[in-house]
Amino acid sequence: MKNRKDDHIKYALEHESDYNSFDDVELIHSSIPKYNLDEIDLSTHFASHDFEFPFFINAITGGSENAKKINQKLAKVANECNLLFVTGSYSAALKNSDDDSFNIVKKENPDLQLATNIGIDKNYTAGIAAIKALNPLFLQVHVNLMQELIMPEGSRNFNEWENNLKEFVQNIEIPIILKEVGFGMTENTIKQGIKLGIKTFDISGRGGTSFAFIENMRRENSLDYLNNWGQTTVSCLLNLKDYTDKVEIIASGGVRNPLDMIKCLVLGAKAVGLSRTILELVVKYDVESIIKIVENWKTECKMIMCALNAKNIKELQNTKYVLYGKTLEFSMQKF
């Protein structure tokens, strides 16, 4: 039988977005720096935890043999590089008691900074089961409406979602992050989330993985005109500028390199998640080579911060920038 999780990995790697909003942002450099490279501090704090680095491996997979191998590699890289690792949705393990594609990462890396993920369509008891199994630092609850709608076997009933989220907040004792899957979140969703008690949002915008594309590849009659549904990561961050001191905003969606990461932090994100970029590395290279690349990313983040005269993540928010193209047009409109 074909596994849905394997389809996701396959089609995620096939799709390259032809437009990435990070290319519309230009950071204004500073010619006379104040800080030496080794004075620059990359640490951050969100979801009640301190993290040494402001980027992490965001939810990708679990629930098949291939997914297990990918999780093992990702977890090893995260463990060696002291990065946070978030598993894909734990619901795959709840459907199959023999599944060890999630639990293995903890077994093999007992000190790993680990978080996990579940869908908003699930009851909070699924979240409790995931927490019991993995003892994560926090739980991501993902919203993926357009994916469900396009997915041939997707859900057709959504009026329970709001109540499910309310119950997650009431019954889960670790921090909860409300997370998109690449369609983006803007003010309307953040306001709803705040009302329901959410304090941390991963706005995961358009520009990288498109779950509309992925599910269209799995359908007989493709609705490919919806492949670019949603708002880009930079548009979401710009739209949420007034919220960055009210809630914690995490950025993901289309992050390709340390420059994109720094742009997210300049625009107010507390941290930056990567899925497709790191998945690509995992299928191409061995663990040792990926560790080298990730270690270089840390230095490259510091290099860029040095050239922006920012000693830490907070100072990065003083960076001036200009916008171009569609992102500029988006930023000029009220909705």
Residue ranges in contact with ligand FNR by CB under 6 A: 8-9, 12, 58-61, 88-89, 117, 140, 142, 179, 181-182, 204, 208-209, 252-255, 274-277, 279
Contact 256, 276 (CB under 8 A): no
Residue 255 labeled ligand binder: yes
- The nearest distance, CB 184 to ligand FNR, in angstroms, is 10
Whose Cβ is closer to ligand FNR: residue 40's or residue 138's? 138
Residue 148 labeled ligand binder: yes
Task: Find how far residue 159's CA is from the centre of its chain.
Answer: 25
Whose Cβ is closer to ligand FNR: residue 271's or residue 306's? 271
Q: Which residues pair with 252 in a beta bridge?
A: 273
Whose Cβ is closer to ligand FNR: residue 116's or residue 309's? 116
Neighbours of 4 (CB within 10 A): 16
Residue 222 labeled ligand binder: no
Residue 147 labeled ligand binder: yes
Rounded CA-CA distance 249/200 in Å is: 6
- The nearest distance, CB 139 to ligand FNR, in angstroms, is 11
Instruction: Kindly give the residue spans of alpha helices, DSSP state H, lying in 179-275.
Output: 187-195, 211-217, 233-239, 258-266
Residue 218 labeled ligand binder: no
Residue 122 labeled ligand binder: no
| Residue (of 101, 174, 178) closest to 144 by Cα position | 178
Whose Cβ is closer to ligand FNR: residue 237's or residue 306's? 237
Rounded CA-CA distance 333/335 in Å is: 7
Contact 275, 233 (CB under 8 A): no
Whose Cβ is closer to ligand FNR: residue 40's or residue 274's? 274
Q: Fill in the amino acid letter for 246.
A: K
Residue 203 labeled ligand binder: no
Nearest residue to ligand FNR by CB is 208
| Residue (of 124, 117, 115) closest to 165 by Cα position | 124
- The nearest distance, CB 299 to ligand FNR, in angstroms, is 21
- The nearest distance, CB 128 to ligand FNR, in angstroms, is 18
Contacts of 9 (CB under 8 A, 6+ apart): 60, 61, 66, 67, 70, 279
Q: Which two tokens stand for residue 198?
A: 């959410």
Whose Cβ is closer to ligand FNR: residue 112's or residue 274's? 274
- List binding-site positions for FMN: 59-61, 89, 117, 179, 204, 209, 254-256, 275-276
- List binding-site positions: 4-5, 59-61, 89, 117, 147-148, 179, 204, 209, 254-256, 275-276
- List binding-site positions for Mg(2+): 148
- List binding-site positions for substrate: 4-5, 147
